[in-house]
Amino acid sequence: MPLSIRSFPRAIIHIDGDSFFASCEAAVNPALKGKPVVTGKERGIASSMSYELKAMGVKRGMSLREIKKICPEVIILPSDYETYSLFSKRMYAIVRRYTEAVEEYSIDECFADLTGMRRSLRMSYEAIAEAIKHDLDTELGMTFSIGLAPNKVLAKVGSKWKKPSGLTIIPANRVETYLSKLPIDKIWGIGPQTSAFLKQHGIQTSLQYAQKPVEWIDANMSKPYREIWHELRGEFVYPLTTEEKHDYQSISKTKTFTPASADKEFVFSQLSKNIENACIKARRYELAPKKIFFFLKTQEFRYSGLELTLATPQSLPNEFIRLVRESFDKVYRPRTPYRATGVVLMGLEHNKEIQMDLFGAVSEIIKWKPVYAAVDAMDSKFGKHTVYLGSTMKAMKRGAHTNERGDAPGRTSKLFKGENRRQRIGIPMLGEVK
DNA sequence: TCTGGGGTCCTAGGACCC
DNA sequence: TCTGGGGTCCTAGGACCC
């Protein structure tokens, strides 16, 4: 019995940039086209690689040393997220020429809802998908893979079906063809834990999962996996999130440093820097966290951390740094080499909602406000960390010669030429925060 | 996969209230 | 003082994604 006989109740496309970071690099520098290119130099492991390298068996996460053995003429580039984000924005803009209903899912992927567009565009869904692909490929100078299906999960199956540069259409009445040989762990949202569980119950393929009786699904699976089951059967469950992001549940900043360090002040300054960065982001979205979680990560990848709560939600780093300083010794173990620190800001409220009842605390915040407004203005003019706190200084100095991407001349993208974005002045003007 | 960095959502259980 | 039932909020931990 067919899973679903309805034709297209909805037409959802998923668009996925092929080898996105490596392709952006080649689009900016055409001399790289057709060459084995990998990004991730700053980490020493591959984050994105061109199809020339994929053909040789190079995979994400592989060490660059290993890749050099496989392909001695490989071109290794550091990640340049500013350029990639720019291409990402261009991708969204092109898709929006066809429909406003676009979900910006990640830097190299988006969903769009084409339902009802056949009439206004006088094109079939297939023709619309082809036109979008044509515009993306020619205008961005790289290829994209597209899936067209009745929902997001199946559109994802489609975009992965043929890569690179594929366009795969999965109508509801042909779902079985695509799912019958597709391993269940290839489905978006089904990870190693769930596929191991399903395997124990004799389920290997996506079709076997989709064909399980609803009673079995309800009795054995939690909500996310019940929803996936419905989508695999051609139903529309997951709506697109098309509004611009203006809210976060949490904001986090973590940074690894090599080599690991047992120097207490250095480790603390790394935390201080992460706090500053997280607060910059919170202010950009006008969010005020009321809780902070900070942690240290040892060389052995063990974590120790602490969660702290503020009397008043706010987004200026001073108070967070003071709090973290106070309880730092509860987390830090002397003579232990740490490889990373991180902070997570939680309980985020929109600034307007902050009540003005705790007079002392609020007036303290108000006092600092103009200072940070100026800091944010300088950052947007000259680049991040034009100005930073004294407690962050150790981290800034060391950053220049550790694994920071750095701002070496010549690596600044041509796309930002003249904008002076990467310039760093580094005046510790706010002084030490105790 | 010898391991970056940034997120989301769901579930179960406890505290507390009526 | 005890019991029953129901609601809300919060937290910790798990699983997954790019």
For the four alpha carbons of A80, A83, A89 and A91, in that order, the dihedral sign comes to negative
Residues 6+ apart with CB under 8 A from A273: A255, A388, A392, A395, A396, A399
- Does the nearest atom of strand B lie within 7 Å of A36's Cβ? no
User: pLDDT category, A376, cuts 50, 70, 90?
Assistant: low
Distances (CA, A) of A183 to A191, A328, A363: 11, 47, 59
Average pLDDT of span A393-410: 46
CA of A409 to C1' of C11 (A): 48
Give the nearest nucleotide to A190, CA to C1': C16
Q: Which amino acid is at A289?
A: P
Which CATH fold would you assign to the domain A250-398? Answer: Dna Ligase; domain 1 (3.30.1490)
Is the per-residue pLDDT at A408 higher than 60?
no
Q: Average per-residue pLDDT in chain A? A: 84
Q: Which nucleotides of B are covered by protein (CB under 7 A)?
A: 1-11
List the CATH code of the domain at A173-232.
1.10.150
Domain extents for chain A? 7-169, 173-232, 250-398
Q: Does residue A156 lie within 7 Å of nucleic acid chain C, judged by its CB?
A: yes
Q: Do domains A7-169 and A173-232 have the same CATH topology?
A: no
User: Which pLDDT score is estimated for A391?
Assistant: 74
Segment A149-153 shows an average pLDDT of 97
Distances in Å between the alpha carbon of A431 and those of A7, A282, A390, A392, A427?
66, 22, 5, 10, 10
Q: What is the pLDDT of residue A257?
A: 87
Q: Residue A2 — pLDDT band, cuts 50, 70, 90?
A: very low
DSSP string, A310-330: -SS----HHHHHHHHHHHHHH
Q: Answer with the residue of higher pLDDT: A217 or A384.
A: A217
Please, what sign has the CA dihedral across residues A26, A29, A30, A35?
Answer: negative
CATH architecture for segment(s) A7-169: 2-Layer Sandwich (3.30)
pLDDT at residue A200, rounded to an integer: 95
Residue A42 has pLDDT above 90, yes or no: no
CA A359 to C1' B16 (Å) is 29
Distance A223 CA to C5 C1' (A): 26
Report the percent of chain A where pLDDT is more than 70.
81
